[in-house]
Structure 1
Amino acid sequence: MKNKSILISGLVALIASIGTAAPTLAQDGRLELAYAEVSAGTTSIPVGHMEFCQKRPYECQPMAAAAPAALNDNLWRQLQDVNNHYNTTITAVSDDELYGTEEFWTYPTSGYGDCEDFVLAKRAALIEGGWNPANLLISVVKQPNGEGHAVLMVRTDRGDLVLDNQEGLIKLWTDTPYAYIKRQSQAHAGQWVDILDGRDEIVTATATAGH
């Protein structure tokens, strides 16, 4: 989140992503991997998002049920444009450096923000562009180094796609290096659910069945 070289990497990703086709559904042929499974009940809301909702309650309301977005060429290009725009115009800086506090969720300020700020900005831009909010879910993950991170998980008919300020290319959630912890509920923007990240178990079971 603190790596200011994201601007350069984002520009490289922008060039690389032009003309890239949208991911196919369950690229490895296992449909159960295309969508992240979540818990039936709600879980704790991140403190930063709770404070964000207290200041902007109109952004944390119940949401109508929605089928995954049908990802045509126009919508795929829109995802790419929004992801690339914020990845190349916002510099990643920690909340401690910006606001003197460990966690403060808000929209990017004067060209700077941390991972949650990127996600909030991308989500707002896509909603303004006509996307259903129920398919745009802020998600908390753990990086391979153990540090927390936030990404935007987008529900589509190609599976759950991830918009990430540390990665210019939009990928299926299964193709990212993160352990998924929790995300916004599809039923309520101010509530969260646990993500049951069972990818290892599925892969193991599939491999065993093949012997």
Structure 2
Amino acid sequence: MLFRGQGKGLAVVAILMGVSASMSVPAKAADALYASLGETTRSPIGWVEFCAENPGECRGGASQPRDIVMSQTAWRDLVRVNKWANETIKPITDMDHWGVIEKWSLPTDGYGDCEDYVLLKRKMLMDAGWPREALLITVVRDKKGEGHAVLTVKTDKGEFVLDNQNENVVAWTETGYRFVKRQSQSDPNVWVSLGDNRPALATASSRDR
């Protein structure tokens, strides 16, 4: 399904924010994000509480999976959003920020950890008209084996990752991460296992500056 024109609003927003990018549309990434999606699993710690406080961000219910058509405009928008959020939000752990081990929140005060970056990028794209079904919050283990959260974007050219530890938008295969779980395309409040069954708090990977 095509989503033509949805990138235009975001492109204007990005220009007004004073950020720019000149990148070509990437070649198709791996045909499938994972060999197969596992069974449903429990949501990450903090997600249910976030939804209770921000019901509008978690509104969903069953829907049809949809992928983005990766145009030049769409690619530039992904790069701009990733870069702007990474440069604008200052990293801080939830313990230092809120006094708790794990709390999901939109970084409205300019501070957050990895999942807060993801929530902001997801909201920016959805507010610009991108389909929620193509923007999936994903829990991974980073190169140090620590829990981390990224935003997976499903496109007709493969799966790409927006990450507060990387100003570049890259194919999932280029992250070096081990994927643990992510939102279902069919329902944002359903989470599916991706192979690494060890618990993974997505709290300690705010990008160093």
| Offset of residue 191 of structure 1 | 1.3
User: How many angstroms apart in 2 are the aligned matches of 1:38 and 1:116?
Assistant: 24
Q: Which has the larger radius of gyration?
A: 1
1:101 aligns with 100
Greater shift, 44-53 or 97-106, is seen at: 44-53
Q: Show CA shifts across 1:30-76 (max 9, x none).
A: x54x4234535311101211211122233322252133110101111
- In the alignment, structure 1 segments of 5+ residues that lack a partner are 1-14, 198-211
Greater shift, 165-174 or 54-63, is seen at: 54-63
Asked if the contact 1:68–1:135 (Cα under 8 Å) also holds between the matched residues in 2, the reply is yes
| Offset of residue 169 of structure 1 | 0.4
Greater shift, 113-122 or 79-88, is seen at: 79-88
Asked if the contact 1:38–1:193 (Cα under 8 Å) also holds between the matched residues in 2, the reply is no
| Offset of residue 21 of structure 1 | 1.6
1:46 aligns with 44
Asked if the contact 2:23–2:75 (Cα under 8 Å) also holds between the matched residues in 1, the reply is no
Normalization by structure 2: what TM-score?
Answer: 0.79
1:58 aligns with 56
For 1:78-157, list aligned pairs within 5 A. Answer: 78-157=77-156
1:19 aligns with 22
User: How many angstroms apart in 2 are the aligned matches of 1:80 and 1:119?
Assistant: 14
User: How many angstroms apart in 2 are the aligned matches of 1:39 and 1:74?
Assistant: 30
User: How many angstroms apart in 2 are the aligned matches of 1:50 and 1:125?
Assistant: 21
The amino acid that maps onto 2:56 is Y
Paired residue secondary structure (1:58): helix
Asked if the contact 1:151–1:165 (Cα under 8 Å) also holds between the matched residues in 2, the reply is yes
User: How many angstroms apart in 2 are the aligned matches of 1:171 and 1:41?
Assistant: 26
User: How many angstroms apart in 2 are the aligned matches of 1:151 and 1:25?
Assistant: 20
1:74 aligns with 2:96: no
User: How many angstroms apart in 2 are the aligned matches of 1:19 and 1:114?
Assistant: 27
User: How many angstroms apart in 2 are the aligned matches of 1:59 and 1:139?
Assistant: 16
Asked if the contact 2:140–2:150 (Cα under 8 Å) also holds between the matched residues in 1, the reply is yes
User: How many angstroms apart in 2 are the aligned matches of 1:109 and 1:132?
Assistant: 23
1:35 aligns with 2:33: yes
Change (3 A) 1:78 1:135: same
Change (3 A) 1:21 1:90: same
User: How many angstroms apart in 1 are the aligned matches of 2:129 and 2:157?
Assistant: 18
Once superposed, what is the RMSD of the aligned Cα atoms? 2.0
Asked if the contact 2:90–2:110 (Cα under 8 Å) also holds between the matched residues in 1, the reply is yes
- In the alignment, structure 2 segments of 5+ residues that lack a partner are 1-18, 197-209
Runs of 4 or more, structure 1, over 3 Å off, are none
User: How many angstroms apart in 2 are the aligned matches of 1:71 and 1:85?
Assistant: 20
**Structure showing the higher helix proportion among its residues:** 1
Asked if the contact 2:38–2:194 (Cα under 8 Å) also holds between the matched residues in 1, the reply is no
1:174 aligns with 173
